[in-house]
Each structure stands twice: as structure tokens, then as C-alpha cells.
Chains A and B, each alone.
Chain A
Amino acid sequence: MKARTTSAFSLGIALTVTGCYTTSNVATFTPLQTNYPVSASPEYVAQDGQIVAPNQYQVTAPFQFNEVVDGEVHANTSTRLALEPQLNDLVAKSQGDAVTNLKIQAVNYDHGSHASAASWKILGWTFGITGASVAVLGAAIGDRNDSSVHSSGLLLGGGIIAGLGVLSYVIGSTLKDPAEWQFQVSGQVVRRTAQATPSAAPLTPPMSSAPPLAPSAPLPPAPTASPAPSGGPRFVPSGVSHLRGSRSASPPLPPK
């Protein structure tokens, strides 16, 4: 009786500790290391500190490209979202001197084989530990002369169940489809055509108390940037860049 209680308790503890899997995929963005200004809005701050409005530049090339940031399943991965190579190419090809209206949109997150791999591994732990417990129980009962249970049957059954557990875990370990952040990056390469506004002057008259803008009182709409020249190039680089970063193995977590 004591052996059964101990076995059941050990089984519960073991299953709780081993059956948790976490995949963490972080795509980090840091200020772009470029020799030209990159702005998310129609205006930008030139290298001389002046603010350039949309009517002071012309759009030379709208663009759009995709980036993918991979993360290994059941691990913690952190990757910098490096857009500089693509942007440098685009600016050089269109002979621009700034990028405006840059939008970095996470359009999808593919979880890869996280769920399926976790299910197989959890199944593996469940069968493995259960089988081992049954086998140990069989061995313990086998020492008693008054037992009506055949210990060899328990040992064999436990071994088979444990073997299935090992097989399930191995199958789970072979599922390695990475988790993916999928980004769509769009914007426009521009070339400055006129003198800019000195940045020392506020863009709009300051409010008396300068409170944060409320959602119900949005800022006035931005002026539309000058359109791309008709027939001008629109760069849509083919293919998708895959970025991979450093990772660390994810240890089993305690239950939430």
C-alpha cells in the first residue's frame, strides 16, 4: 500500500514538473543605423536638424518588402529586426536621401510546431513515467509471496508503456518547424527639393497647458505626400529575408 502511494505521488510530481513547454520569440527593433533619416510619418528630421515637410521633397520610389524573424520551438529566441540592408539598397537604387512613411507591420505569427511538439513530448512523459512506475510497482509486488499479481506481467506492461513514451518523446523532438514573426515593411524613398523648416519652431502652436492629446481630439490629418512620378519604379524585392537570433534553451517551467 505504501509503495502504491509513493508511486502515485511520484508520478504526479514528475508529470507536473516535466509537462510544460514554452516557446518565446522576440523580434526587437532598435533605431536604424543609416546615413539618411528614416521616418514613420510624412515629415522627417534632416541631418542638419531641420524638419522637412511633404511639400519639400518628392517621392522617388515607394517600396514594400517582407521580413521573417525565426525562433526555435521550445526555446527563448531574441532577434534584432535588421532593416538596414534592404533600405540601403532601396535608397541607393532610387538615389534618394531619406525614407518616409515607413510602416513595420507584423502581419502574422506562425507558431511553427510548438503545439504539436509539446503534445508529443507531454504524451511521451506521461507514458514514460507511467510505464516506469508500473514496472517499479511490479518489481515491488514481486517480492511478496502472498501477491496474486504476476510481477512479470507488470514489468512487461510497464516496459512497453515506457517504450511508447520514449517513442512519443522522440517524435516530438523531431518536430522543429520554427515559430515565425512575419513582417511587411512599406514606405517611400524621397529626395529633398526645397529648404526645410527650422526645427526650433514648434510644428503647431503650443497649447497653454500642453496636455496629452485625448483620443477624442486627434491631431489634424497629415498632408499627403507628393505622389510618385508616373511610371516610376516601385521596388518590391523578391523573396523574404529570414533573420535568426541568439537563443537559449527553455527549461521546464513550474505549473502556472
Chain B
Amino acid sequence: MVGGLLLVLAGCKPAEYPKELFTIAAPDGADYPVMLSQGTANAPGRPIAASSSTHEAHSSSTYSNGYTSVTITQSELAQSEIGATQKLGMQVRHSDHWVQIEGADFTTTDFSMYGSTTSDSTLNLRGSAR
């Protein structure tokens, strides 16, 4: 019972979430149009897509045996090495005239349960090269 209470109290600690940073922009060095408006969206194109994400998780658990109590706290932090915009730019060929951004989603999902919290954020970029 005491162990369970400690576990719950550990979950009460405010999670130290990361500060995400995602950007929709032209890839570095792009010398072609990256269109965000609908006007040119009807032309056929080659689908391209990219995403980047961050992940953070904290968990804490307590084990008791006799008079000994051990609390283990684990933290995970991960993020994409390359941003979605740059990944999208890597799929553009020299023969392409321009890129149309068809859509993007900025998603964050926070999850909390007994003694653990996770936070995952993602930028999904969808477009077409024309």
C-alpha cells in the first residue's frame, strides 16, 4: 500500500516536457517555388512526404522489501536528427519545377498513467513535386 502510494505520488510530479520546434518553410537553398496556396494545386505531381518527431518519457517505480525501499526513475528523450522540411527537400529532383505542399499536421499526444508520462510530437508534411 505504501509502495503504491509512493508510486502515485511520483506520478504527481509535473513532467518536464521538451520544447518542440517544427517548421514549415522552404528547404535550405531551395531555388524553386514551394507553394502553400491552392492556386497551383490542380497540376499532377509526384507525391513526396516527410516527417520529424520528438519523444519524451518519464517513469518512476518503487520496490520495497522489508525495510528497504528502492525507487527507479527513468527518462527518455529523442528527436529526429533532420527536420521534415529538409527531408522533403532531399526528395526534390533537378528536373522538378516546383513543389506544392498539400498538407501538414502538427500533432502532440500527451499520455499520463500511474507513475509515468509520455509526450510525442510529430510534424507530417505531404506534398508533390511538379
The interface of chain A, by Cβ under 8 A from chain B, is 15, 19-34, 36-45, 47, 49, 51, 69, 81, 101-109, 111, 114-116, 118-119, 122-123, 126, 179, 181, 199, 202-207, 210-215, 218-223, 253, 255-256
Contacts and interface: CB of A to CB of B under 8 A. Distances in A.
A45 B31 contact: no
28 contacts: A22-B111, A24-B108, A26-B105, A28-B104, A33-B38, A34-B39, A36-B39, A37-B40, A39-B35, A40-B24, A41-B30, A41-B33, A41-B34, A43-B31, A43-B32, A45-B98, A105-B22, A105-B24, A108-B20, A109-B19, A109-B121, A115-B15, A118-B112, A119-B12, A199-B98, A203-B31, A212-B90, A213-B91
B49 interface: no
B30 A222 contact: yes
Given A20-B112, A105-B24, A108-B19, 7 more contacts: A24-B110, A33-B37, A40-B25, A40-B36, A45-B33, A69-B106, A104-B23
Contacts of A204: 31, 94
Given A39-B34, A210-B95, A213-B89, A181 B108 contact: yes
Given A106-B23, A212-B90, A32 B112 contact: no
A79 to B, nearest CB: 10
Contacts of B98: 43, 45, 51, 199
A207 B94 CA distance: 6
Interface of B: 4-5, 8, 11-15, 17, 19-41, 82, 86, 89-98, 100-114, 117, 119, 121, 123
Given A32-B36, A199-B98, A104 B25 contact: yes
A-B residue pairs, 9 tightest by C-beta: A41-B26, A118-B112, A206-B95, A38-B37, A40-B34, A29-B104, A119-B12, A104-B24, A31-B38
Given A115-B15, A212-B91, A51 B97 contact: yes
A27 B113 contact: no
Contacts of B92: 212-213, 219
Contacts of B41: 31
Contacts of A31: 35-38, 41, 100-103
A26 B102 contact: no
B125 to A, nearest CB: 9
Given A22-B110, A207-B94, A213-B92, A36 B37 contact: yes
Nearest to A81: B106
Given A104-B24, A106-B20, A29 B11 contact: no
B101 A21 contact: no
